[in-house]
Amino acid sequence: MHPLLVLSDVCEYTVSLGPIRDSISAIMSEYNWFHTAILYDISYVFFDLAGSNLVHDFRTNPDMERPYDIAFNPSKVTDYGELLLEARNYARVFVIFCDSDVLRTVLYRAHQLGDEKDAAVTRAYESLLLLTLRQPDNAEYKTFAEQVKIRAKRDYGYEFGPEEAVNYFITAFYDSAIYLALSYRAVLDDGGDIRDGNLVAQRLWNTTFQGPVKVDEVGNRVADFDLFHMKSPDTRLFERVGRFRGATQLYAPTTDVYIQWPAGLPVDRPPCGFTGELCILVTDDQTMLIIVLVVTLTILAVIVTTAVILLYRCRCCRTGTLRSLWGRVWNQVTWSL
């Protein structure tokens, strides 16, 4: 089973696609992977944009091999196995942009071993690396999340589950409101005009606020990503195995937590190549000479045997013909004078 690096529903709230590219590149570099197959769902706008942009970025990256890309529409795919077989001719690491339902089908098809579907999918998930936006864990976020849960139940009758996290979009929207308020304050402190939209928008570019929230030099929020892996098929629980820091552009594995690769760390290129093209049978001169002699003698023996049989049959036919012409009894002979 090949490693699958998947970005699913949680990533759709990222406005800038640059952090996705940077985080995937950092993870690929960590494990010395350079060949990729990128599969993306074109029926969903975010997955289409993210997949096609990643293909473009990898093609222009001198440190990466040219990726093989497959754009698909789930409504028109009859067998995801055909897509996987096509992709495996070019890479052993697949990057897939899709939702959770498509992902489950892809994993089942990739690891179809005749087991029950749930068991097969569970085994397939052992080869899955799930890349998600980092959920904030600072004190300010925890306080905010608790307030969201209280107000959701009080004002809208919605109660969060015991393990249900506050949606990333809610926290991002809240951060945007804080950014706008801080930018207004900074512009006013500088004596500027808050009716100047460009001035307000650009006032906090390339800065950090609220602790972990960083905005880069062109106004994009710098995102952190967490990498998860299912450590045990028995528990089916995913554990964080690494984190990509957007501010430093570095990926760091989680201390004392290791990925349990089903068959060891996958290599970037198999020893025999993706289609076995690098493993050609090579024999020494003596062995080749013996093979040639055996084949030649066999052919000669067949030719000689065939010739002998044909000559024998021809001779038998001629003898039979002569006997039929001259072999007569005495009363069959007519004398005429």
Question: Are 52 and 71 a contacting pair, CB within 8 Å?
Answer: yes
Total structural domains in the chain?
3
CATH number at residue 119: 3.40.50.2300
pTM, two decimal places:
0.63
- Sheet containing 213-215, strands listed edge to edge, beginning at the edge strand earlier in sequence: 207-209, 213-215, 221-222
Query: 């993210």: which residue's tokens?
Result: 50
Q: Are residues 289 and 167 in the same domain?
A: no
Q: Which of 217, 236, 256 is the last residue of a domain?
A: 217
- According to DSSP, the residues that pair with 40 across neighbouring strands are 71, 97
Q: Which two tokens stand for residue 30?
A: 């960590």
Q: For residue 208, which of 226, 188, 187, 182 has the smallest C-alpha distance?
A: 182
Q: For residue 225, which of 41, 34, 104, 50 has the smallest C-alpha distance?
A: 50
Q: Are residues 23 and 99 in the same domain?
A: yes
Print pLDDT tens along the chain (337 aa). Answer: 455 555 543 333 334 677 788 888 999 999 899 999 999 999 998 889 889 999 999 999 998 999 999 999 999 998 888 898 899 899 988 999 988 888 888 887 776 644 555 566 666 777 788 888 887 777 888 888 999 999 999 999 999 888 788 877 788 888 888 888 999 999 999 999 999 988 888 888 888 776 667 788 877 778 888 898 887 767 777 888 999 988 788 899 999 888 877 777 878 888 888 887 788 665 555 676 777 788 888 888 878 788 777 777 777 666 655 555 555 555 555 655 5
Cα end-to-end span (Å), the chain: 102
Question: Are 90 and 37 a contacting pair, CB within 8 Å?
Answer: yes
Residue 167: CB atoms within 10 Å: 14
Domain that includes residue 256, residue range: 1-134+223-280
